Amino acid sequence: MSQSELSAADPTRAPGWVDQKALEALLAEVNRCRSAVARLEKEAQDGATALTLLRARRAALDALESYSAALTLRGWPTPRKIVLDIQLLRTLSNRKSRFYYR
């Protein structure tokens, strides 16, 4: 069976399809990374290093960008709060976009 026949028979196999479990896993990673950043920001007041905080912010940025990309593959918009968080974390971690956004 060709790729187009598979896609027609089962929409979950269409190019760009991201299943619900994958989205849930990506969102769980976003939440885990956000929690880690919040914890480290609190610890920063008590002596956590800037490098540790930077690594946590970059991990959170990676998770948010991956989740946003998965939503885009599904044809869904990225929620405004996530877009703003991505922009903030890019600024704080001094990193340019991993993906091209219009």
**pLDDT tens-digit readout, 13-69:** 555 567 888 888 888 988 888 888 888 877 777 776 778 888 888 999 999 999 999
Whether 6 shows a pLDDT value over 50: the answer reads no
Report in angstroms the alpha-carbon separations of 90 from 54, 66, 93: 11, 14, 5
Mean pLDDT score, 58-87: 93
CA contacts within 13 A on the Cβ side of 51: 0
What does the alpha-carbon distance between residue 23 and residue 91 come to, in Å, rounded to a whole number?
25
**pLDDT surpassing 70 at residue 1:** no
CA-wise closest residue to 32 among 55, 59, 65, 50: 59
Domain borders along the chain are 17-93
For residues 31 and 33, give the distance between their C-alpha atoms in angstroms, rounded to a whole number.
5
Listed in sequence order, the residues at least 6 apart from 90 whose beta carbon sits closer than 8 Å to its beta carbon are 61, 96, 97
| pTM confidence score | 0.63
CA distance 84 to 65: 11
User: What is the chain's length?
Assistant: 102
Higher local confidence (pLDDT), 9 or 22 = 22
- Reduce the DSSP state of residue 85 to 3 states and report it: helix
